[in-house]
Each structure stands twice: as structure tokens, then as C-alpha cells.
Structure 1
């Protein structure tokens, strides 16, 4: 969601990865990639495999923010990476609230 514009942020590349370890020692394996649609959602990312302890979403927001702020130079935050713990059987909805100079993420329902 582009909070500065008050509308969904369409056209942002998103990558989903999982870690094979509990901490920083694990390797990240990319499961899939997508792009946010007109509603700012990625409906086609794959499910996390059972037993994955951590997931990561990487949002490539730089191109979106540069298009939105033509002539303002490069985006201050060109990428947002969100690492999250995975509970067995959980369903995850992780909204990114985006503005040119800040962002926040929360676990949605």
C-alpha cells in the first residue's frame, strides 16, 4: 500500500525465500517471485514448505518509487527485506505500507 498516495502500490517485484536454518547460519532458497497487482497483492507466490523455520520477502521498491517521484532522484529505500518466523500450519499475510521515506510491515489476518 502506497500510504503517501492513498492507493495500492502496483508493479513492485517481490521475491519469497526460505531459510534452511534457525539463525543467520542458514542458506536462503528462493521459492518464487511475483509482482504486485492493481490491488497491491501477490496472489501467485508459492506456499512455504512444511518445516521451514523462517521466510523472507524482498520487495524491490526502488523502481516503483522512482516512477512515482519522477525527477526526484533515486529512492531512499530501494529495497525492503522482511524476515519472519514460520509457525507450523500458519497462514501469512504481510502487508507493506510504503511511502517515499519510510515503510512498515505487520502480520495481517
Structure 2
């Protein structure tokens, strides 16, 4: 199983570079890092089950209603790829299962 994310800053229309992200499974951090200059993290391999990806939006955005965005998802195909994009602004966010 592989996991990736892509964070876009809807205010600037640019990738969210340097945003801290962590991936949790069963209450433990299994991966953490920062988005690259294209707003991406890729190559994490957390395994099957229920996971939480946590975006530290409060450290990235100056004024935000959401200091943290948490997306919980289930990995049902251990051999599959799971891509969870995030479109971010100070007062809204959107996500979906990407490819």
C-alpha cells in the first residue's frame, strides 16, 4: 500500500509548500514530514486499516478557523495506492479520494 497527498493553497493558487503532515494508525504516528515545493508528500507505506492524516494548518496559515485538518480513511486494498488531496483556505477545506 502506498499513500500520497497534495495540498493546494486556495488563497494563493499555489502548492502549500512546507506544511507539516503526519499519518497515524492505531493512535501511533507511522509517518511524518513536510510537503515539498509542489505541495506533495509521497511514498509513505502505512499498511491496511483505518488511518488518520493530520495537516498542521495552524502553523501554515496565519489566520485560520481550522488549526488542524484531520482526514480519517480506511485502507481496504493493501496493494493499492491511496491519494488524499487537500484544497485549503483559512475558512474552508475540501478533500476527496484521488488516484
TM-score class, shorter = 0.7 to 0.9
Mapped partners of 2:42, 2:96: distance in 1: 18
Comparing both chains, which one has the higher relative contact order based on Cα–Cα distances under 8 Å and sequence gaps of 6 or more?
2
Q: Which protein has the larger Cα radius of gyration, Structure 1 or Structure 2?
A: 1
Other-structure match for 2:57: 61
Cα displacement (A) at 1:90? 2.0
Identify which of 89, 92, 96 aligns with 2:86.
96
Mapped partners of 2:25, 2:80: distance in 1: 15
After the TM superposition, list the runs of 4 or more consecutive aligned residues in structure 1 that deviate by more than 3 angstroms. Answer: none
Q: Deviations over 1:23-50 (max 9, x none)?
A: xxxxx12101010111000135x3012x
Identify which of 61, 68, 71 aligns with 1:79.
68
Mapped partners of 2:9, 2:92: distance in 1: 11
The count of aligned residue pairs is 91
Other-structure match for 2:46: 48
Alignment RMSD: 1.2
Identify unmatched segments of 5+ residues in structure 2. Answer: 1-7
Q: If each structure's strand is expressed as a fraction of its own residues, which one has the higher value?
A: 2
TM-score by structure 1 length? 0.77
Mapped partners of 2:52, 2:59: distance in 1: 20
